[in-house]
A and B are shown apart, each in its own frame.
Chain A
């Protein structure tokens, strides 16, 4: 793979074909968990890991899978990987697992994952598929983090609070700017507003 091709893949995953911003895939977790930065980061990492592993497995088995049963096989692979990730979160990041709750098992239903399996991994070699999982997963994770950051800043008046849920140790309050904030941002409508603003901003930048 040439260097420019490599850069293009990153550009696509993070910007031009961003799963959340452009393809609008995986909106349910995106809207539900992004009330704080650490939640967005946690779910972003989990989704990224599942996407890379599922792309790798789908790509590795692509020669033996008959086209008519490919979808049940993708579902099987993705569901097993998500179960593993859930167990790993429960074992190493229990606080984050509690905070994300049902949304870790629900990664199974993130269409971004089965979409990459179908569109990319089933037709490409393993290394290339893992890279695809990485760039697409990073695009999704970055969007989760940006929206989490904005909603936490506006809604709680803090930046990166409770990072201890990832790194362990005592409860960290992060950078506290004001005590409390504009409540709407952390309620569900705030998620829609933030996502709409992010999409509008991206479109405005693209138009220039």
Chain B
């Protein structure tokens, strides 16, 4: 047999076997992977949900806000709506702070209907280990200073780090990361204040 044809057949057979192997592994793991993704999502939303009373499924209430929008970040933002007996309780925003030290910082900002922060959690970042990464809730208490704060406490002008004349702590050796996150939270609060109706009305339409 022609050696080119023979090589082609060998390659095709091996490619077929390899594809079968991957397909088999995929089938065996798909359900577990999906469950893990779901569990991870629920766990990462938890910091903004603690202390809230609600009876709705949070992850199902996801809504994407396509750009352009007034939220931090240039890509689509994500909102989860939290309800108790069909009354809005809170909205959880996943936004990107673009002005971090190294790339965008994905932040979860929970805001209750009255406009107060329920919790902030840094989901993804590439800030310097040991300096900027102390914004992670596991590494310091820094993110907890926002709990319960709103646009009247302090006024929008006070939503900055102390070095910039605002009311929030920076981190020793890192002010770029905290500055970016404080600004992202403030912008999210301002967006929520301006678009509160839309955020929740959209869900009611979906429910009906």
Contacts and interface: CB of A to CB of B under 8 A. Distances in A.
A69 B22 contact: no
Interface string A50-90: 00000000000100111011001100110111011001101
A90 B38 CA distance: 12
Contact of A66 (B3, B19, B26): B3
Using C-beta atoms within 8 Å of the partner chain, give the interface range for chain B: 20 to 34
Interface in A8-39: 35
Using C-beta atoms within 8 Å of the partner chain, give the interface range for chain A: 20 to 34
Given A180-B130, A183-B129, A66 B33 contact: no
Contacts of B14: 61, 65, 73, 76-77
Contacts, number: 70
Contact of A91 (B7, B19, B36, B138): B36
A192 to B, nearest CB: 16
B26 A87 contact: yes
B21 interface: yes
A183 B32 contact: no
Contacts of B29: 87-88, 90-91
Contacts of A91: 29, 32-33, 36
A77 B138 CA distance: 40
Interface in B114-133: 128-131
A79 B7 CA distance: 19
A183 B10 contact: no
Interface of A: 35, 61, 64-66, 68-69, 72-73, 76-77, 79-81, 83-84, 87-88, 90-92, 94, 98, 155-156, 171, 180-181, 183, 186-187
Interface of B: 3, 6-7, 10-11, 14-15, 18-19, 21-22, 25-26, 29, 32-33, 36-37, 39-40, 128-131, 138
